[in-house]
């Protein structure tokens, strides 16, 4: 009998009557993520999902790695099933966790008896198995409060499962259980983190990127697509929209006051993103803005940007320091890609002295010096879309 994985729910366990819906979304997401590693069977019981391979050649290491990035899972255990008798559990079961015990100094045994017909009660299983382990590994000591290893025995209807791993899952709630949002994805550090944080709360992510060839290169776009594929390990497959933005930027430069370039550009990005959202039935936007980080992210600048928005804009990193954002980007593996030095359309026509306290009325007047409507419609028309899958 090969190993199985026990995925323990986080918040889903508390969802009451809606629990089934969340569970179904979680199972669907897990299926999508691990189907490339083999065929699996899924069983739900007591806020745990039992994932059993149907054949022996499933790549369980990759499965464990992928599952650590699936939102909705609090803990992951890799376990093995044994016959439901104490003899099998205390010999073959302990063989299975021997390596973890050899490398530990302290341990405890935990037992869950779902099958009440099993002749020993949980405290007895713990006591007896603890004795067997101490005899076999004399270097160990029992520590019930803070052990290095917890050997867990779960007596279920079908089998007794034994495990000694208890790995943290990604937490959060399953992607797709909180609607969808459009992430404005640049090649920087902040926006991938913003997308990750929304996905963690169950929001499915589409991404939109603005490029300005020839000022921005093919390589710059490939870098952003790579970021999307790293994010997809957490968010699931991402629908990626790419907007040709060159003409709009050139007309901003030719017609509008220099000190307002960036803010007008951001307003037009929001306008285009919203039009695509409206076509795709996506109700909200997400950006990687953090207050005060740069001139276009002062309170006054954001008031001017938001004035161009008719749908909610979520900014999950708004109150975070760069250091904190970097820490998450390292954790989710986007950092090294984000710092690759490619140009972004934002940096193409940056004004020398951007206004940090723009006045909304002046911004609108500056923007109205050119009628962008035709170019906006053209950019929306020429936007391309394709799906980006997880890179692992």
Shortest distance (Å) from residue 297 CB to ligand ATP: 6
Among 96-104, 182-190, 211-219, 267-275, the segment contacting Mg ion (CB under 5 A): 182-190
Residue 98 CB neighbours (<10 A): 14
In eight-state DSSP terms, residue 173 is B
* Planar angle of CA 52, 55, 59, nearest 5 degrees: 75
Count of chain residues binding ligand ATP (CB under 6 A): 20
Cβ-based nearer residue to Mg ion, 44 or 223: 223
Identify the CA nearest to 309 among candidates 184, 185, 178, 175: 184
User: What residues between 259 and 318 interact with ligand ATP by CB under 6 A?
Assistant: 287-289, 293-294, 296-297
* Planar angle of CA 251, 256, 257, nearest 5 degrees: 145
Shortest distance (Å) from residue 270 CB to ligand ATP: 9
Q: Does 181 bind ligand ATP (CB under 6 A)?
A: no
Instruction: With H, G, I as helix, E, B as strand and everything else as coil, classify residue 143.
Output: coil
Using CB under 6 A, pick the residue from 230, 345, 375, 390 that binds ligand ATP: 345
Using CA atoms, how far apart are residues 6 and 133, in angstroms rounded to an integer?
23
Instruction: With H, G, I as helix, E, B as strand and everything else as coil, classify residue 248.
Output: helix
In sequence order, the β-bridge partners of residue 163 are 152
Shortest distance (Å) from residue 242 CB to ligand ATP: 9
Among 59-67, 143-151, 168-176, 185-193, the segment contacting ligand ATP (CB under 6 A): 185-193
Using CA atoms, how far apart are residues 104 and 149, in angstroms rounded to an integer?
7
In sequence order, the β-bridge partners of residue 41 are 52
Shortest distance (Å) from residue 392 CB to ligand ATP: 22
User: What residues between 204 and 233 interact with Mg ion by CB under 5 A?
Assistant: none
- The DSSP line for 28-57 is HHHHHHHGGG--EEEEEETTEEEEEESSTT
Cβ-based nearer residue to ligand ATP, 29 or 290: 290
Q: Which does 251 bind (CB under 5 to 8 A by kind): ligand ATP, Mg ion, none?
A: none
Using CB under 5 A, pick the residue from 93, 172, 176, 188 that binds Mg ion: 188
Contact residues toward ligand ATP (CB under 6 A) are 184-186, 188-191, 208-210, 287-289, 293-294, 296-297, 344-346
């Amino acid at each position: 009998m090969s190993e199985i994985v026990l995925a323990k729910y986080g918040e889903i366990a508390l969802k009451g009557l809606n629990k089934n819906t969340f569970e179904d979304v979680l199972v669907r997401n897990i299926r999508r993520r691990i189907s490339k590693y083999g065929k699996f069977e899924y069983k739900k019981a007591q806020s745990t999902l039992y994932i059993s391979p149907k054949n022996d050649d499933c790549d369980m290491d990759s499965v464990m790695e992928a599952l650590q990035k699936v939102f909705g899972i609090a803990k992951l255990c890799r376990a093995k099933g044994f016959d439901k008798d104490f003899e099998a559990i205390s010999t073959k079961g302990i063989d299975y966790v021997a390596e973890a015990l050899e490398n530990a100094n302290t341990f405890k045994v935990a037992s869950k008896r779902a099958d009440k017909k099993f002749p020993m009660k949980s405290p007895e299983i713990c006591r007896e198995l603890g004795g067997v382990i101490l005899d076999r590994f004399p270097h160990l000591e029992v520590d019930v409060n803070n052990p290095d290893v917890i050997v867990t025995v779960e007596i279920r209807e079908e089998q007794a499962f034994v495990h000694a791993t208890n790995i943290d899952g990604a937490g959060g709630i399953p992607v797709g259980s909180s609607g969808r949002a459009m992430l404005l994805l640049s090649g920087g550090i902040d926006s991938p983190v913003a997308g990750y944080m929304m996905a963690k709360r169950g929001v499915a992510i589409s991404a939109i990127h603005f490029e300005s060839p020839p000022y921005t290169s093919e390589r710059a776009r490939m870098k952003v697509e790579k970021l999307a594929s790293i994010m997809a390990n957490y968010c699931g497959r991402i629908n990626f929209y790419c907007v040709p933005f060159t003409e709009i930027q050139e007309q901003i430069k030719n017609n509008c006051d220099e000190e307002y370039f960036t803010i007008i550009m951001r307003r037009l990005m929001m306008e285009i993103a919203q039009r695509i959202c409206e076509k795709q039935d996506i109700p909200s936007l997400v950006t990687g803005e953090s207050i005060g980080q740069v001139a276009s992210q002062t309170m006054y600048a954001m008031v001017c940007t938001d004035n161009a928005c008719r749908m909610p804009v979520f900014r999950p990193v708004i109150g975070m320091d760069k250091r904190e954002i970097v820490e998450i980007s390292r954790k989710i593996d986007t950092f090294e890609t984000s710092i690759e030095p490619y140009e972004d359309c934002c940096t193409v026509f940056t004004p020398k002295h951007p206004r940090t306290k723009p006045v909304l009325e002046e911004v609108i007047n500056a923007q109205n010096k050119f009628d962008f409507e035709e170019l906006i419609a053209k950019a929306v028309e020429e936007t391309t879309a394709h799906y980006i899958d997880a890179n692992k």
